[in-house]
Amino acid sequence: MDYRSGKIAQQIIAMQNNDGTWGNEFHSLSIPNNKKPLTTEQALRRLKHLGFTILDAPIKKSVDCMVACQNAERKIDNYREKGRDWDLFTKLMLSTWVKIFHPQNVVALECAKYWVSMIETGFADGKYDNDTGEVDFVTFYEMNLLQGLLSESTESRMLDYVINHEKGIYYIYNKRISELPKEFQSVETSRYLEAIDILSGYKLAKEKLGFVVKWLEDNKDENGQWDLGAKAKDNLYFPLSDSWRSAEYRKADCTAKITAIINKLKN
C-alpha cells in the first residue's frame, strides 16, 4: 500500500520550510505534540515510515539542505545542548539521516569512517571496551550509520553486544532486545519492532534475530495478519493509514510493517 498520498503525509509535507527543514529545530526524536512545531527529525522519521525515499521531492530537498550543512555552507539551526560535543553530535545526526535516504552519499560516508574506526578498534579483542569514558555507541544514529560498513567479525560481535545491551537502543527502545515484549498488542512492541527494523539492515541480522521471526510468526492471527492493538497508535510509527477507526486499517498497517521486517530478516 502506498501511504505517501495520504492525509498524514500531506500534512507533514505542507509544514516543510522552503529550505527543506521543518520547524525551528533539527534535533528531536521525541513524540510530536501540538505545543511544539514539528522538528526536522520528527518529520523525516514519519515520512520514512510512510514510504518516502530520496526520489520524493520533500526528502531530496531536506537531504540537499543537510549536505549543505555538512559542507559548512549553512547552519541547520541555532540550537545547542550543553554537556556534549555538540558540533560532533550534529555531524553524526546529519550524516545518519543523509545515509538513511542516500546510502552512498560521500559526505555521510566520510563521517561514518570515524565511527567505523572506533567500533572496529573497540571490538578488536572480541569484547567491547567502554572503559575509556566514551559515550556508548548504541543509539539510533550509530546503529543506522554503521550499516554495511563493518567487517563481518566486528559486525557479529557488535550485534551480540547490542542485542544484549541492558538499555536497548537509545532514542528507540530502552530494554534488552534479547528479551521479547511481554504483551504483543502494545506500544512497547511497536518500539521493539523499530529497533529490530534498524538491526535488520545488518548482513548478520538473519542469524542473530531468528528468535524474533519465530515470535512474530507465532503472533499471526487466523487470517495471517498481525494486530498490535489500538494502543500502538503513537504518531511515531503508527498509524500509516489516515485512520484507525476501523480495525481493518490498523491490521493492514501492522501487517505491512511486520511483513517488511520479516522479509528483511529472511532474505
Judge contact between 244 and 250, C-beta under 8 A: yes
Q: Is residue 154, in this structure, part of any structural domain at all?
A: no
φ and ψ at residue 5, rounded to 5 degrees: -95, 5
Higher pLDDT, 48 or 86: 48
* 255 Cβ neighbours under 8 A, 6+ residues apart: 225, 226
Q: Is residue 247, in this structure, part of any structural domain at all?
A: no
* 246 Cβ neighbours under 8 A, 6+ residues apart: none
Q: Is residue 160, in this structure, part of any structural domain at all?
A: no
Q: Is residue 53, in this structure, part of any structural domain at all?
A: yes
Full domain range(s) for residue 20: 1-102
- pLDDT tens track for 125-183: 888 866 544 558 999 999 999 999 999 999 999 999 999 999 999 999 999 999 999 99
- pLDDT tens track for 217-250: 999 999 999 999 999 999 999 999 999 999 999 9
What was the pLDDT predicted at 70?
93
User: For the chain, how many structural domains are there in total?
Assistant: 1
Q: Is residue 87, in this structure, part of any structural domain at all?
A: yes
Q: Is residue 98, in this structure, part of any structural domain at all?
A: yes
What was the pLDDT predicted at 131?
57
Q: Is residue 75, in this structure, part of any structural domain at all?
A: yes
Widest CA span in the chain: 55
- pLDDT tens track for 3-30: 999 999 999 999 999 999 999 899 988 8
Q: Is residue 16, in this structure, part of any structural domain at all?
A: yes
